[in-house]
Amino acid sequence: IQKKRISYEEKKEKIYHPIGKKLIEIALKKKTNLIFSADLIYSKKILELVNLIGDKICGLKLHVDIISDFSFSFINFLKKISLKKKFLLFEDRKFCDVGTTNYLQLHHGIHKISSWADVITVHVLAGSKSIENLNIPSNIGLITISEMSSYGRLSDDNYIRKALNISLKNSKVIGTVAQRKVDNRLLLFTPGIHFSDSIKNYKGNSYIHPNQAFIKKNCDFIIVGKAIYQSDNPKIVAENYRKAGWIAYENSF
């Protein structure tokens, strides 16, 4: 496994999936590796924030099943903003069932995730087959979860190695979540990001500074939620995370 830090330009050559390539292109163009996790329960609040900080992010991550007033007009608004401001829509659904159920949850139900998401997250706990035959269009990429950011996570080295292998072998996978360096053919996404040292452990999740994510773990994209949406000035704070993430990337070689 080759783990030496490579640039976004070099990584773009190694990632064959069009959505992986597109995400890198957006990152380079907007000079941002920041994905905003909008874990809010009202669509209006999400749209307000996205209008405010859409210029600073390369991705918007949702948990669509927490939105109390979910509607397709909300999705249409989001889609429009995402095209205008150039960022991708991530649905952090963490599919974790057998393949046939994953398929149904992805394409059906109220949220019809496959009709609007650019990127979706999946666990591979049920094995490699559970994320094959999902019948996803070529313009949706998968992110596997190899190792979560939480304290007490159950994944051991053996599980993580197998999860990474499954990720490498599935052509729909653009990258993974892990708390360590991974093969350069995968994009590495890092949640659990915060500037403050005092929030290292918050309600069972662990947090690191963007510098640690890029320099120690060779992360490619940081995912930031409450540090931004709970702040007094999301616009300024988002810009601070964008800048910190970009500088950390540049300093990580």
Catalytic center residues: 92, 94, 97
What is the bridge-based pairing of β-strands 34-37 and 173-177? unpaired
C-alpha angle 22-31-197 in degrees, rounded to nearest 5: 115
Q: Is 234 in the site for ligand 5BU (CB under 6 A)?
A: no
Q: Least distance (Å) from ligand 5BU to the CB of residue 10? A: 25
Interface positions, 121-150, toward ligand 5BU (CB under 6 A)? 145, 148-149
User: Six-digit token pair at 96?
Assistant: 């974790």
Alpha helices in the chain (DSSP H): 8-14, 18-30, 43-53, 72-85, 99-107, 157-169, 210-215, 226-229, 234-250
Nearer to ligand 5BU, 4 or 203 (CB): 203
Site string for ligand 5BU, 26-55 (x = CB under 6 A): -----------x-x----------------
Nearer to ligand 5BU, 12 or 162 (CB): 162
Interface positions, 187-206, toward ligand 5BU (CB under 6 A)? 191-192, 205
Q: Is residue 165 helix, strand or coil?
A: helix
Figure out which of the listed residues 92, 122, 172, 220 binds ligand 5BU, where binding follows CB under 6 A: 92
Q: Distance (Å, rounded) from C-alpha 34 to C-alpha 238? A: 8
Nearer to ligand 5BU, 105 or 205 (CB): 205
